[in-house]
Amino acid sequence: MLTGRKVAELERLAEETGGRAVAADLADPDGVRELIEEAGAVDVLVANAALPANGPFLDFTPEQVGRALAVNLEAPIALTHAVLPAMVAARRGHVVHVGSLSGKVASAYASLYNATKFGLRGFALGLREELHGSGVGVSIVQPGFVRDAGMFADTGAKPPAGMRTVSPEEVAAGVLTAIEKDKAEVNVAPPELRVVSTLGGAFPAFSAGLQRRLSGDETQRQMSVANREKR
């Protein structure tokens, strides 16, 4: 079952994969409820929807803040809450939340996006421990800068100096690894970015200084300008 807001793209993908397309806007609570009703019992949930939500925080309207929180954090939690009872009863199943390395390291012009991805990571890892021994797995998959498709690629921005990108196919492979090997956390990024994100998560001041030196703030600023209309 494939879901998203873009009907034409969904239907094309459903035709290619033999899947079923169900359009839904996760910013709308009614859309979330209708999707849950349409889905029924689920063996594997891959929650991948998100809004860019980057830019100077004071540039967001209250409505835009609410929409970012709804799509990036509240909807994945609501979907998980809906599909878990059947999984737990069957003692099998898996939930994958697609987060971001922005859920480990904070950046200028990404405070709202950081908030949603830090929250999603905490929810996934905490729930995983809660479900230990139940037969149901929970994973968080965290890509870095993704080329060719997605929010970063759509902006045309360049990654910070010395940082490389990954492909959509690598992200998909990370999701499969998370499910098949029941991994708690899969970071899909080149080695240098994985190291920096680990250090940055442990030492925020170090991360902030490094991002300034590598022009990370400028990358986020470029992304925020390009994504302004997607709020």
Domain boundaries, the chain: 41-230
In terms of Cβ atoms closer than 10 Å to its own Cβ (0-12, 13-18, 19+), residue 132 is exposed
pLDDT at 114: 95
pLDDT at 65: 96
In the chain, how many H helices and how many E strands? 10, 6
pLDDT at 67: 95
The set of catalytic residues is: 113
CATH number of the domain located at residue range(s) 41-230 in this protein: 3.40.50.720
pLDDT at 222: 67
Whether the CB-CB separation of 143 and 166 falls below 8 Å is answered with: yes
pLDDT at 40: 86
pLDDT at 171: 95
pLDDT at 146: 87
Residue 220 pLDDT exceeds 80: no
Please state, in angstroms and rounded to a whole number, the distance separating the CA atoms of residues 73 and 143.
17
pLDDT at 225: 66
Among candidates 44, 20, 45, which has minimal Cα distance to 32? Answer: 45
Phi, psi (deg, nearest 5) at residue 96: -120, 120
**Which carries the bigger pLDDT value, residue 190 or residue 97?**
97
pLDDT per residue as tens digits for the range 22-57: 999 999 999 999 999 998 889 999 999 999 888 899
Longest alpha-carbon distance in the chain: 51
Q: pTM score, two decimals?
A: 0.87
> Hey, what are 118's tokens?
């830090």
As a whole number, the mean pLDDT across the chain is 89
pLDDT at 224: 67
Please state, in angstroms and rounded to a whole number, the distance separating the CA atoms of residues 173 and 120.
20
Residue 214 pLDDT exceeds 70: no
- Residues contacting 59, CB < 8 A, separation 6+: 224, 228
DSSP letter, residue 158 = P
Whether the CB-CB separation of 94 and 139 falls below 8 Å is answered with: yes
> If pLDDT is split at 50, 70 and 90, which confidence band does 145 have?
confident
Choice among 2-16, 84-98, 211-225 with the minimum mean pLDDT: 211-225
